[in-house]
Amino acid sequence: MDPGRRVGLYGLVAEFDNSDQLLRAAKGSRADGYRLVDAFTPYPIEEVSEALGHHHSKLPLIVLIGGILGALGGFFLQYWVSVIEYPLNIGGRPLNSWVSFIPVTFECTVLVASLSAVLGMLALNGLPRPYHPLFNEERFALASRDRYFLCIKKLDPAFDREGTRKFLEGFDPIGVYEVEN
Amino acid sequence: MSVDDRALPAKPPVIAPGHTSATVSDKIGEIVFRKTPRWWYFAFAGSFALVMLLLMALTKLVVEGTGIWGLNNPVGWGFAIINFVWWIGIGHAGTLISAILLLLRQEWRTSINRFAEAMTLFAVACAGLYPLIHVGRPWLAYWLLPYPNTMGMWPQFRSPLIWDVFAVSTYATVSLLFWFVGLIPDLATLRDRATSGFSQRIYGVLAMGWRGSAAHWHNYETAYLLLAGLATPLVVSVHTVVSFDFAVGQVPGWHATIFPPYFVAGAIFAGFAMVLTLAIPLRAIFNLHDFITIRHIQNMCKVMLATGLIVAYGYLIEIFMAWYSGHWYEQFMILNRITGPYRYHWWALILCNILVVQLLWIRKVRTTPVVAWIVAMFVNVGMWLERFVIVVTSLHRDFLPSSWGMYSGTFWDWATFIGSIGLFLALLFLFLRFLPMISIFEMRTILPKEEAES
């Protein structure tokens, strides 16, 4: 991509004292035409995610697929072992005694679904990510304590260094900071 | 307008008034960064000494074999299975608190779920040890898994013992995932609070670059809820499968359809007793009265009382079914339990698990932490006795009087058991020292809104 992307300004970050102000700023920025906006909060706030247009997560679908694969894999592992590879006659019971295969099938379903939930969540969020430009801003450490941040990225078509700063200051933040890449 | 004024005038709040997002973060985060208190060294040294005892017992076992234990014919399942079931049952409360109470929107769970989950992990680690050493040649324990091998052999999937392998390993994995996912935002808080480069780096790596982005929280919350939804049936399945280890067998005293629900209830009963055993001293030592309130202790006592009654019902049904079945061996087994050579175990079990627990009907008992703690200790002992009674009294006198026998644990049985308690405590002390014992970000979400913003 653009080699210049890694240097210079990343975006503008506004720090807020409370979640209501952040919510107003988030809604305002979307209404004003900004698209590359992200909010950072010490705990999940559903309204903010919705205001920024995060309505549907792909995660449930990933977990569903994981669960189905786990169930099929678990069952057919047992089927293959018990019927094809290593048939054992246990008191004349059918080789495909599917009722006794249910517990292991269930455990495999849960195992693969849970692994896909965690790995899927990390993948969708682009984690692990050891470096991020926002960590350059010292104040940003408070995002994991009690402050609320709104970031408008420079790559946003509507971004304008002075204009966006004025716009963010209109929401009465504690401060607006320029974040370098 | 605070949540409590509006909805629950009679109930005390789940978090003491006056806290804000900042004070909650500081108070819980500070425990990790403050100077290691002197008592911690003593406590850790004590439990570590027990870990050494465990290692000694395991070494002896590897060198000499399971003959060092009290196992014999007819009692081929002794301490190893008793302790396995005891530990895994204890673990169940952690998952119940973190998953089922989350889905039921029980806000009070928030301040106890983190260390209850840690307790689950460590208890499952202790539990997992026993089947591995019980196979006699632990270095071949991987034979339990289905993998292509030169012997051309495969596990027998119709056996509850192999179900157990899958249930327990899935449970351990999912508990670890659930716990770790819950920790990620708090690890970020610790990363941002850490002052030394070393701890910044360690917590930074573990937090994986978490920034609290709204987009991330959106996926995170979905993942957390889905994990809770998956862990809920899982936890029920685990102790059900453990009970199948017994119930599918034909030994009188094991072959009972009541076993799955009665085992699951017993697991929750034992687990809540252990959570109380740990929570009551911790809140005093770390001065966490604001977060682990009397309401938490009360609620846990109520869960213990309810599950204790289900367990009592299980005991009654066992006796009733022995009579109702008209089955000689079943009837003899129950009489032998109550009046035979192990009668003191049985009566002690009734005392610990049924009689003492009835004290929890009294409000004063539930709201006095010391008394609640003593009741919980009775339950810890009682649930161990329950497994002893189920395993030993069923096996020691079965169908053929000529093959009857007696069983008791040897020094090495006890050393392994007490050593595993040491392992559990040592892991717990390490956890208390290096990770936040209460979920910080979830505590922020249950703060009354006003105060979060002041």
Tell me if A177 sits within 8 A of A13, measured CB to CB: yes
- State which residue of chain A sits closest to B188, comparing Cα positions: A144
Question: DSSP state, A139?
Answer: G
- State which residue of chain B sits closest to A53, comparing Cα positions: B215
How close is the nearest chain B Cα to the Cα of A78, in Å?
Answer: 7
| Chain B contact set for A44 (CB, 8 A) | 217-218, 220-221, 441, 445
Yes or no, beta carbons of B170 and A107 under 8 Å apart = yes
Task: Return residues 64-83 of B near A (CB < 8 Å).
Answer: none
Per domain, the residue ranges of chain A are 3-56+131-180, 59-124
- For B72-84, write each residue's pLDDT tens digit: 888 889 899 999 9
Task: Give the per-residue pLDDT at B347.
Answer: 94
Task: Give the per-residue pLDDT at B354.
Answer: 92
Question: Which of B324, B347, B340, B311 shows the shortest CA–CA distance to B398?
Answer: B340
Mean pLDDT of B323-344: 91
- Cα distances from B401 to residues B7, B16, B262, B396, in angstroms, run 64, 62, 29, 10
CB proximity B445 to A under 8 Å = yes
Yes or no, beta carbons of A115 and B173 under 8 Å apart = yes
| Chain B contact set for A16 (CB, 8 A) | none
Task: Give the per-residue pLDDT at B448.
Answer: 66
CB proximity B425 to A under 8 Å = no
pLDDT < 70 stretches in chain A? 1-7
Name B271's Cβ contacts closer than 8 Å, sequence gap at least 6: B89, B90, B91, B92, B93, B94, B96, B119, B120
Yes or no, beta carbons of A121 and B219 under 8 Å apart = yes
How close is the nearest chain A Cα to the Cα of B188, in Å?
Answer: 7
| Chain B contact set for A88 (CB, 8 A) | 156
Supply the range of the domain harboring residue B13: 3-453
Yes or no, beta carbons of B181 and A88 under 8 Å apart = no
Query: Which of A45, A121, A129 to substitute to test the interface with B, most B CBs within 10 Å?
Result: A121
Q: Which two tokens stand for residue B120?
A: 């689950």
How close is the nearest chain A Cα to the Cα of B235, in Å?
Answer: 10
- State which residue of chain B sits closest to A20, comparing Cα positions: B453
The Cβ of residue B268 has, within 10 Å, a number of other Cβ atoms equal to 27
- For B436-452, write each residue's pLDDT tens digit: 888 888 888 877 654 44
Spatial separation of the C-alpha atoms in residues B257 and A20, rounded to whole Å: 55
How close is the nearest chain A Cα to the Cα of B276, in Å?
Answer: 28
| Chain B contact set for A144 (CB, 8 A) | 25, 185, 188-189, 191-193, 210, 212
Yes or no, beta carbons of B188 and A144 under 8 Å apart = yes
Question: DSSP state, A4?
Answer: G
Mean pLDDT of B364-387: 93
Mean pLDDT of chain B: 88
Task: Give the per-residue pLDDT at B12.
Answer: 63
- Rounded to a whole number of angstroms, the CA Rg of chain A reads 25
A2-8 contacts: CB < 8 A, separation 24 or more?
A5/A155, A5/A181, A6/A181, A7/A181, A8/A154, A8/A180, A8/A181
3-state SS, residue A145: coil
User: How many domains are contained in chain B?
Assistant: 1
- State which residue of chain B sits closest to A130, comparing Cα positions: B209
Band of the pLDDT at B302, cuts 50, 70, 90? very high
Task: Give the per-residue pLDDT at A109.
Answer: 95
Tell me if B384 sits within 8 A of B86, measured CB to CB: yes
CB proximity B205 to A under 8 Å = yes
How close is the nearest chain B Cα to the Cα of A100, in Å?
Answer: 5
| Chain A contact set for B152 (CB, 8 A) | 86
| Chain A contact set for B212 (CB, 8 A) | 40-43, 143-144
Through-space distance between the first and last CA atoms of chain B, rounded to whole angstroms: 13
Mean pLDDT of B266-273: 92
Task: Give the per-residue pLDDT at A6.
Answer: 58
Question: DSSP state, A87?
Answer: -
CATH code of the domain in which B417 resides:
1.20.1630.10
Task: Give the per-residue pLDDT at B306.
Answer: 94
| Chain B contact set for A135 (CB, 8 A) | 211
Question: Which of B310, B305, B315 shows the shortest CA–CA distance to B358?
Answer: B305
Yes or no, beta carbons of A107 and B227 under 8 Å apart = no
How close is the nearest chain B Cα to the Cα of A48, in Å?
Answer: 7
Task: Give the per-residue pLDDT at B8.
Answer: 45
Top CATH class of A3-56+131-180 equals alpha beta
Please give the helix or strand (H or E) that residue A150 lies within, else none: strand A148-153
Question: Which of B261, B348, B271 shows the shortest CA–CA distance to B313?
Answer: B261
How close is the nearest chain A Cα to the Cα of B411, in Å?
Answer: 37
- Report the residue from B146, B208, B444 with minimal CB separation from A43: B444
Task: Give the per-residue pLDDT at A115.
Answer: 95
Considering chain B, what percentage of its residues have pLDDT values greater than 90? 51
**Cα torsion angle, B277, B282, B287, B288, sign:** negative
Mean pLDDT of B251-269: 90
Mean pLDDT of B247-272: 90
Yes or no, beta carbons of A144 and B146 under 8 Å apart = no
How close is the nearest chain B Cα to the Cα of A169, in Å?
Answer: 19
- For B163-206, write each residue's pLDDT tens digit: 999 999 999 999 999 999 989 998 988 888 888 888 888 888 89
Yes or no, beta carbons of A103 and B209 under 8 Å apart = no
- For B96-115, write each residue's pLDDT tens digit: 888 888 888 887 888 888 88
Mean pLDDT of B113-120: 88
